[in-house]
Amino acid sequence: MTQIVPVRHLFGPGPCNPYPEATAALGLPLLGHLDPAFIARMDRTCDGLRTLWGTENSRTLPLSATGSAGMEAAFVNTVKAGDVAVIAVNGLFGERMCEVASRAGAEVVRVDHEYGTPVDAQRVADAHPNPTVIAAVHAETSTGVISDMAALGAIKGDALLIMDAVTSIGGMPVKVDEWGVDVAYAGTQKCIGVAPGLAPFTISERAFERRVQKPQSWYLDLGLLGGYTTGGAGGGRTYHHTAPVGMVASLEAGIDRILAEGIEAVTARHQAAGQALQDGLEEMGLTLFAAEGHRLPQLTTVYVPEGVDSAKVRSYLLERFNIEIGGGVGKYASTVWRIGLMGPNANPTSVALILAALKEAIAKA
Ligand SMILES: *Cc1c(COP(=O)(O)O)cnc(C)c1O
């Protein structure tokens, strides 16, 4: 029996609905992964990523897996047994960094912050005199908070600075070189507006020179991946693994879409949608979760009103309006909602739709 696939409004923490151009590119004829036409496509994609990242790093590429593989690649290539990783934790993804870094053998020094608040660069600086790496999440999707990465770049000293930009890239300015970030990773399914499956990644020359030789992961060994995107001697590509050809075509189209609109315009669109949503929620009498002045426009966290069943409201939204929103994380699982307006969903129509639907769901669920 044919199953009818519902068409959802993906207003949760990701994936969002992709840009139509990115979806259309998935239907292009498939190329071999060493075909010159595909190599040209990969080169253009890496150039586009350099623009989104704000970097000149030659080692900028989409890793063949989701954002978490970007996190894994960042740590296995920079820390080994005995190295110190100072990690700012202000949400779920900071917690995950601690787990990944400790599995790579690092001695993890956690700098815990209250959920809903941004990273305090001074506390990170005071945590250890000479760490190997310092890591933080730019846009914490679990709490809806933005942190100042430039402030961490200013205090990093000799350490390498690792940035999780999974939710920020494509929705707000990201300036890897200007901020002094050495290693950064992202995902395709948040504000880049492409289906999940790739992890845009960039690493500075300084970090690459210091990289772990023979890291425990063969698949994510950046030393081996060099020949995969930048070509070996004479520019020839070498086989490491089969590039997800279709996903790269989709990413290329998604980046083209963002650059055609312009990073400033895309940023302004996310800003306007997030502000309108947050204003609308407050007008409904709801209370926002993230600290004022540090709120992400693309991911809004809001308290579930007293006496309202969080799960029932989410089911009502899904069943009646085909709208997905997220629950909270950890101890906030049933007391906070997470509403994402990412990529093409950052627009006034989506704002009006979610506000009206949520009002009805709260009243009737
Ligand atoms: C979604 C997300 C990740 C993990 O990405 P996956 O694609 O789910 O593997 C990591 N960090 C942040 C901040 C995220 O929002």
Give 83-149 as a DSSP string. Answer: -EEEEEESSHHHHHHHHHHHHTT-EEEEEE--TTS---HHHHHHT-SS-SEEEEESEETTTTEE--H
**SS3 label, residue 361:** helix
Whole-number pLDDT of residue 279: 98
276 Cα–ligand 1 center, Å = 25
Helix (H), strand (E) at residue 36: helix 36-53
Whole-number pLDDT of residue 1: 72
Which of 96, 141, 168, 169 is the best mutation target for the ligand 1 pocket, counting ligand atoms within 8 Å of the beta carbon and taking the most?
A: 141
Model-level pTM? Answer: 0.97
What is the atom index within ligand 1 of the atom nearest the CA of 189?
A: 7
186 Cα–ligand 1 center, Å = 7
**Residue with CA at minimum distance from ligand 1 atom 2:** 166
Whole-number pLDDT of residue 240: 87
175 Cα–ligand 1 center, Å = 19
Where do the structural domains in the chain lie, given as residue ranges?
9-15+263-364, 20-260
Whole-number pLDDT of residue 236: 58
233 Cα–ligand 1 center, Å = 35
What is the atom index within ligand 1 of the atom nearest the CA of 139?
A: 13
187 Cα–ligand 1 center, Å = 7
Which of 100, 167, 198 is the best mutation target for the ligand 1 pocket, counting ligand atoms within 8 Å of the beta carbon and taking the most?
A: 167
pLDDT string in tens for the chain (365-residue length): 788 999 999 999 999 999 999 999 999 999 999 999 999 999 999 999 999 999 999 999 999 999 999 999 999 999 999 999 999 999 999 999 999 999 999 999 999 999 999 999 999 999 999 999 999 999 999 999 999 999 999 999 999 999 999 999 999 999 999 999 999 999 999 999 999 999 999 999 999 999 999 999 999 999 988 766 665 444 457 788 999 999 999 999 999 999 999 999 999 999 999 999 999 999 999 999 999 999 999 999 999 999 999 999 999 999 999 999 999 999 999 999 999 999 999 999 999 999 999 999 999 98
Whole-number pLDDT of residue 337: 98
- According to the CATH classification, is domain 9-15+263-364 in 3.90.1150.10? yes
**CA 139/CA 12 separation, integer angstroms:** 15
- What class does CATH assign to 20-260? alpha beta
45 Cα–ligand 1 center, Å = 21
Whole-number pLDDT of residue 84: 98
Pairing between strand 336-340 and 326-327?
antiparallel
Q: What is the dihedral of CA 274, 280, 282, 285, to 10 degrees?
A: -150
211 Cα–ligand 1 center, Å = 23
Q: Which residues does ligand 1 sit against, CB inside 6 Å? A: 14, 66-68, 93, 137, 141, 164, 166-167, 187, 196
Pairing between strand 323-324 and 9-10?
parallel
**Residue with CA at minimum distance from ligand 1 atom 5:** 67
Whole-number pLDDT of residue 233: 44
- One-letter amino acid of 57: N
**Residue with CA at minimum distance from ligand 1 atom 14:** 166
Which of 10, 16, 63, 68 is the best mutation target for the ligand 1 pocket, counting ligand atoms within 8 Å of the beta carbon and taking the most?
A: 68
**Residue with CA at minimum distance from ligand 1 atom 6:** 67
**CA 249/CA 40 separation, integer angstroms:** 11
**CA 98/CA 184 separation, integer angstroms:** 16
- One-letter amino acid of 65: A
35 Cα–ligand 1 center, Å = 31
Rg value, the chain, Cα:
20
Whole-number pLDDT of residue 234: 44
Whole-number pLDDT of residue 221: 95
136 Cα–ligand 1 center, Å = 13
**CA 171/CA 66 separation, integer angstroms:** 18
